[in-house]
Chain A
Amino acid sequence: MSLRAAFNQLVTVTAMNLRNLPSRVGTSLVAVIGIGGVVAVLVSLLSMGEGFRAALDLSGRDDVAMILRGGSPDELSSSIGREQYNAIVIAPGIARDGRGPIVSGELYSIVDLPMRSTGTGANVPLRGVGERGPELRDGFRIVAGRMFRPGQDEVIVGRGAFSQFENIDLGREVKWGSQKWRVVGVFEAGGSVSESEVWTDAVVLRGVYRRGNTVQIIRAQLTSAEALPVVRAALEKDPRLNVSVRSEKAFYSDQSRILLALIKYVGTTIAVLMGVGAVFAALNTMYSAVSSRTREIATLRALGFGAAPVVTSVLLESAVLGLLGGVVGGLLVYFGLNGYQATTLNFGSFSQLTFAFTVTPRLLVTGLGYSLILGIVGGLLPGIRAARMPVTTGLREL
């Protein structure tokens, strides 16, 4: 049989099936909604991961070094003494200007704040930053109130933390441990992880937590991204020091790994389990579609139409329903969740990270791909059944 005839058959049977769709709106909707629901859940979970990744990616610069004590996986467990600090900040590759090296010795601790959404307590990072700390964050600016004054018990609150947690309204006094702090400003920092934090003067925080002359981490502006190995080599060579040097980007990328893996694992597991249910919905729809057209299919077979176009047409219809579900689910998440601010526990820092659900085109395509697979799997058995049905039996169907 020629290609033209094969193509004609396929187009005819598929068009016949699709033109029949309006008479089967109810059953078709079951499949569309079932698959749409699965795609919505999958895309929303993945968009959560994407938002989380974006928050951490935005935080990471290639030309800023994060210097921790050697072997410390995170800021909480790191500690760098004054002598080491002094040796580190003069390393070659660290940028300087008229005010000296562009570095920020920082302390990192965790305080408890109730979440606005649930009222339950959550871990929020309280960071003590050096005088030049803000310079090392892209897009840092005070959006309400003012900057904390050095040496004062004042804090400024990141925009993300401000929107997610209670008791940190501007001008309010907040008590952590025995220390009272006054909230004097709200800041943004280019959508980065810093916006999930509360900041104060590192010197004040050091005093409150009795950390002596230590800092936990040094953030250092590099002369360029390429200077990182230079700094690392210089610091490794210094026998007084035992530190690990990573770019800020690498640091946050490492932090996000656990949660991203968890989101991916949970998202995939849920999507697969729900997918099984959606396939049954699609199967049911397509069985009823095939059964309502038994005589038409048998008539076409009697006229000489092959089994392959019949199977393919059922698969195509099922795929179309699946894709419709994918579009519905994708749009639902895009318009319902994209940009929605939420917080989650960042396993890398044991504190809450504020992020926005981010529905990227890639995620939408992933969702559509999954809906297509569900549709095709749901149409396979009904398609085969339609093709294998004896023509003489089908012709007798009313």
Chain B
Amino acid sequence: MNAAPAVAAAGTSIVRIRDLVKDYRRGAETVRVLDGLSLDIRQGDFVALMGPSGSGKSTLLNLIGGLDRPTSGTLEVEGLRVDELSAGSLGRWRADHVGFIFQMYNLLPVLTAERNVELPLLLTNLDREQRMRRVAAALKLVGLEHRARHRPRELSGGQEQRVGIARAIVTDPTLLLCDEPTGDLDRKSGDEILDLLQALNREYGKTIIMVTHDPHAAERAHRVIHLDKGMLSEGSG
């Protein structure tokens, strides 16, 4: 297979993808979701991944986040070949380097906001006091310090997503991966979340990759990358 030209950006690449292929099996059929994709994302970038349903946006996000493995090709994050890590190492790598923000927030309903935010810190060596300090800082950053003891069902959708963002940033990860972060919110709440993501990118230098269907959300990104049938094309952000 011929390598497609890498969709590149100037500056230091934090994510370097080359000839990435991802096939899925559906019964006897093999479906190619990503077809020899190459891409560079630089440190501090805010990238929106757009494309029709089934174009491979979420698959690409999952591969970058180490939730799935490519069929072939290479995937480096900060110079580390993520595609070569074992399952156990991949879990630890995710805990250290990736913050996930999900469309449906994916908070644990039985835990309070602060306990949800604390979850990634449980994988570190921090003691409880240190963890709670970090949790308080993250909740303050997303403007929810007064809702720390509330459970998800006592929060609005926008607030739940902010808790999700606090959980994603509490370990100070290299990458923030957002899968339709405003997809389940009304316009006002969605805008607030996008403001927050922009602030995290601008003020804290977080590299953000965001999958979205919404052109309005994509406008906030520096770069908009379109995926269609497993192939990339770049538009302006």
From A296, A302, A307, A398, give the contact of B108 (CB < 8 A): A296
Whether the pair A5, B111 counts as a contact (CB closer than 8 A) is no
Whether the pair B100, A303 counts as a contact (CB closer than 8 A) is yes
| Any A CB within 8 A of the CB of B124 | yes
Whether the pair B67, A9 counts as a contact (CB closer than 8 A) is no
| Any B CB within 8 A of the CB of A152 | no
Task: List residues 90-147 of chain B with CB under 8 A from any CB of chain A.
Answer: 91-96, 100, 102, 104, 106, 108-111, 119-120, 122-125
Whether the pair A1, B94 counts as a contact (CB closer than 8 A) is no
Whether the pair A4, B125 counts as a contact (CB closer than 8 A) is yes
Q: Which residues of B contact A303 (CB under 8 A)?
A: 94-95, 100, 119-120, 123, 167
Q: Which residues of A contact B111 (CB under 8 A)?
A: 16
| Any B CB within 8 A of the CB of A109 | no
Kindly provide the distance from the CB of B179 to the nearest chain A CB, expressed in whole angstroms.
Answer: 8
Whether the pair B120, A299 counts as a contact (CB closer than 8 A) is no
Distance of A390 Cα from B25 Cα, bound (Å): 14
Q: Which residues of B contact A4 (CB under 8 A)?
A: 125
Q: What 1/0 mask marks residues of chain A from 225 to 237 whose CB sits below 8 Å from any chain B CB?
A: 0000000000000
- Interface residue total, chain A, C-beta cutoff 8 A: 26
Q: What 1/0 mask marks residues of chain A from 347 to 391 whose CB sits below 8 Å from any chain B CB?
A: 000000000000000000000000000000000000000000011
Task: List residues 1-28 of chain A with CB under 8 A from any CB of chain B.
Answer: 1-2, 4-5, 8-9, 12, 16, 19-20
Q: Which residues of B contact A305 (CB under 8 A)?
A: 91, 123
| Any B CB within 8 A of the CB of A395 | yes
Whether the pair A2, B119 counts as a contact (CB closer than 8 A) is no
Whether the pair A306, B91 counts as a contact (CB closer than 8 A) is yes
Whether the pair A391, B67 counts as a contact (CB closer than 8 A) is yes
Distance of A5 Cα from B121 Cα, bound (Å): 9
Q: Which residues of A contact B235 (CB under 8 A)?
A: none
- Known A-B contacts A302-B100, A303-B94; the reply to A8 vs B122 at CB < 8 A is yes
Distance of A299 Cα from B116 Cα, bound (Å): 11
Nearest A residue to B105 by beta-carbon distance?
A299
Distance of A73 Cα from B167 Cα, bound (Å): 78
Distance of A307 Cα from B65 Cα, bound (Å): 17
Distance of A299 Cα from B108 Cα, bound (Å): 9
Q: Which residues of B contact A391 (CB under 8 A)?
A: 67-68
Whether the pair B67, A302 counts as a contact (CB closer than 8 A) is yes
Q: What 1/0 mask marks residues of chain A from 303 to 327 whose CB sits below 8 Å from any chain B CB?
A: 1111100000000000000000000
| Any A CB within 8 A of the CB of B27 | no
- Interface residue total, chain B, C-beta cutoff 8 A: 29
From A12, A20, A299, A390, give the contact of B122 (CB < 8 A): A12
Q: What 1/0 mask marks residues of chain B from 211 to 231 whose CB sits below 8 Å from any chain A CB?
A: 000000000000000000000
From A19, A296, A304, A390, give the contact of B123 (CB < 8 A): A304
Nearest B residue to A308 by beta-carbon distance?
B88
- Known A-B contacts A304-B92, A305-B91; the reply to A9 vs B122 at CB < 8 A is yes
Whether the pair B106, A299 counts as a contact (CB closer than 8 A) is yes
Say whether chain B's binding surface is mostly helix, strand, loop, or mixed. Answer: helix
Nearest B residue to A390 by beta-carbon distance?
B68
From B87, B92, B93, B123, give the contact of A307 (CB < 8 A): B87
Kindly provide the distance from the CB of A12 to the nearest chain B CB, expressed in whole angstroms.
Answer: 6
Q: Which residues of A contact B95 (CB under 8 A)?
A: 303-304
From A16, A296, A301, A395, give the contact of B91 (CB < 8 A): A301
- Known A-B contacts A301-B91, A306-B91, A395-B102; the reply to A2 vs B62 at CB < 8 A is no
Q: What 1/0 mask marks residues of chain B from 33 to 73 whose CB sits below 8 Å from any chain A CB?
A: 00000000000000000000000001100100101100000
Kindly provide the distance from the CB of B70 to the nearest chain A CB, expressed in whole angstroms.
Answer: 13
| Any B CB within 8 A of the CB of A300 | yes
Q: Which residues of A contact B92 (CB under 8 A)?
A: 1, 304
Whether the pair B94, A299 counts as a contact (CB closer than 8 A) is no
Nearest B residue to A2 by beta-carbon distance?
B125
From B87, B104, B124, B167, give the contact of A5 (CB < 8 A): B124
**Residue among B91, B104, B120 facing the most chain A CB atoms (10 A cut-off):** B91
**Residue among B58, B88, B95 facing the most chain A CB atoms (10 A cut-off):** B95
Whether the pair A392, B67 counts as a contact (CB closer than 8 A) is yes
Task: List residues 143-194 of chain B with CB under 8 A from any CB of chain A.
Answer: 167
Kindly provide the distance from the CB of A384 to the nearest chain B CB, expressed in whole angstroms.
Answer: 14
Distance of A12 Cα from B93 Cα, bound (Å): 20
Q: Which residues of A contact B96 (CB under 8 A)?
A: 304
Q: What 1/0 mask marks residues of chain A from 216 to 245 whose CB sits below 8 Å from any chain B CB?
A: 000000000000000000000000000000
Nearest B residue to A6 by beta-carbon distance?
B123
Q: Which residues of A contact B124 (CB under 8 A)?
A: 5
| Any B CB within 8 A of the CB of A295 | yes
**Residue among A5, A12, A304 facing the most chain B CB atoms (10 A cut-off):** A304
Q: Which residues of A contact B102 (CB under 8 A)?
A: 299, 395
Whether the pair A392, B68 counts as a contact (CB closer than 8 A) is yes
Distance of A300 Cα from B167 Cα, bound (Å): 12
Q: Which residues of A contact B91 (CB under 8 A)?
A: 301, 304-306
Kindly provide the distance from the CB of B154 to the nearest chain A CB, expressed in whole angstroms.
Answer: 16
Q: Which residues of B contact A19 (CB under 8 A)?
A: 110
Supply 14 A–B pairs (Cβ within 8 Å), ascending by A.
A1-B92, A5-B125, A8-B123, A12-B122, A16-B110, A16-B111, A296-B108, A303-B119, A303-B120, A303-B123, A304-B120, A305-B123, A392-B62, A392-B68
> Residues on B close to A: CB < 8 A?
58-59, 62, 65, 67-68, 87-88, 91-96, 100, 102, 104, 106, 108-111, 119-120, 122-125, 167
Q: A1-B123, A5-B125, A296-B109 are in contact. List 8 more A-B contacts (CB 8 A).
A: A5-B123, A295-B104, A303-B119, A304-B120, A391-B68, A392-B67, A392-B68, A398-B104
| Interface pairs A-B: 4 shortest CB-CB | A304-B95, A8-B122, A19-B110, A299-B106
